Structure 1
């Protein structure tokens, strides 16, 4: 009997996948929920993030947005045409979606500009180490791990939970209505794409992962996939925790020594 996996049911029905994949997804539910329902996204939905928290989020997550096509390119390097159905599907998926992810970077830039973050700050600003760790992790796993593991960490885990939290933010029109009408559509495009139209991408990635590993992979193989999924969620949570803790910059009284210096310059 062949261990090859061929999906029979609906793409977005977890029951269509092998038992090991169902168990893996179930075991990751709690940590995924900590990201999808993070307090930062509740505050964003309700229009309660201050400028420092929002800018830290937009600048801090930008490296992942900008580099996502490159993560996929690293995975593409591992594909061997004709090796298996899983590899052939991965080749088509990755090539097709690399351009899509590039467009998403353009949409993120528009979101940042509408939020008061300059292009220069987004592209060249200092990224906190606490948020930069996520992009380093994504690069590492896509470069060093197996094809299935790298795709599990990025195309399944990160894209999947991003769809969850984007839908949460878009569940109310409060955040959207906070933008001026002339920039509102561009500002919300990234969020709305991920909340509504991108929801099949993670499922397609899961199908490819199952096709590569088969219906009865080794325990070590399954453990590797689960580890990469959970690690991505945890790095995302650490990023969000840091962004939520960012303090609003407030004006402070000028120290006495500076006041004296200013008075002497005017005298």
Structure 2
């Protein structure tokens, strides 16, 4: 009889699979909203090396701190919906959310370092009342992750918000260094949030889509609700950014 120890249990890792037709349709239907959210004029101009006034970035960062600080809370609400072995894919989704919550642990601190680098006092940001459009996005994400299905919450937060963040940060991270000419402190600490999101957020949206596929009942009306949650999140993100830059 073999005395070898049994293999350690681990839920399947989320790996890319072929999209079902309903998800392909969803991705195509929200393409315009995705592009609008990824590339508001501030992000596009910065990526193109035009160096818009730094005050626009200060305004975006100060108001969007609410979303960054709250992101682990959105994920925690999604985590609360997972089971262990009761539904297909739930154990994998649970592990993924827990791992990403660990990754998120320092993101607010890195964001604060970025704010300080461009001349924002954290104490002022902490007491700032965000713009109505930013608060509306925050409340929508909280409500969707708390009261929607697991797929709806992941679509609104991890796929939509985290996904577009990975797109614009990859193109903004290097041109942003030019703001040193405007007095910004550009160093390893102030650039960490941008660098980290530019490096790994290309994987997270694809993994989020796997959770969405595993947890959506395609034989019901859930695909349309998932699409609606993703679309509204993208629209509200774009509206919030527009409000921040409209001074």
Query: What is the TM-score normalised by the length of structure 1?
Result: 0.81
For the aligned residues, what is the CA RMSD?
2.1
142, 158, 169: which one pairs with 1:166?
A: 169
Distance change (3 Å), C-alpha of 1:75 and 1:116: same
Q: How far off its partner does 1:219 sit?
A: 5.4
Q: Structure 2 matches for 1:128-207, cutoff 5 A?
A: 128-170=131-173, 173-179=174-180, 183-207=186-210
- How many residues align structurally? 232
Show CA shifts across 1:159-179 (max 9, x none): 111111112213xx3321323
Q: Decide which moves more: 83-92 or 40-49.
A: 40-49
Of the three residues 27, 30, 41, the one matched with 1:28 is: 30
Q: Is the 8 A contact 2:152 2:225 kept in 1?
A: yes
Gaps of 5+ in 2: 1-11
- Name whichever of 72-81 and 51-60 sits farther off: 51-60
Counterparts of 2:86 and 2:25, CA distance in 1: 27
1:65 corresponds to 2:68: yes
Structure 1: which 5+ residue stretches go unaligned? Answer: 1-6, 247-267
Tell me the secondary structure at the aligned position of residue 69 of structure 1. Answer: helix
Quote the offset at 1:110 in angstroms: 0.7
Counterpart CA distance in 1 for 2:131 and 2:184 is 32
- The alpha carbon displacement at 1:155 in A equals 0.7
Tell which deviates more after alignment, 187-196 or 91-100: 187-196
Deviation for aligned residue 1:183: 4.0
Asked whether the 8 Å contact 1:160–1:202 carries over to 2, the reply is yes
| SS, match of residue 185 in structure 1 | coil
Query: Of 70, 81, 84, which aligns to 1:81?
Result: 84
Q: How big is the shift at 1:77?
A: 1.1
CA contact (8 A) 1:76 1:94 kept: yes
In structure 1, the residue matched to 2:98 is: 95
Q: Which is greater in Rg?
A: 1
| Contact 1:61 1:132 (8 Å CA) reproduced | no
Report the Cα distance in structure 2 between the residues aligned to 1:145 and 1:239, rounded to whole angstroms: 22
- With 117-126 and 31-40 compared, the bigger mean Cα shift is at 117-126
Q: Secondary structure at the match of 2:81?
A: coil
CA contact 1:41–1:169 (8 Å) conserved in 2: yes
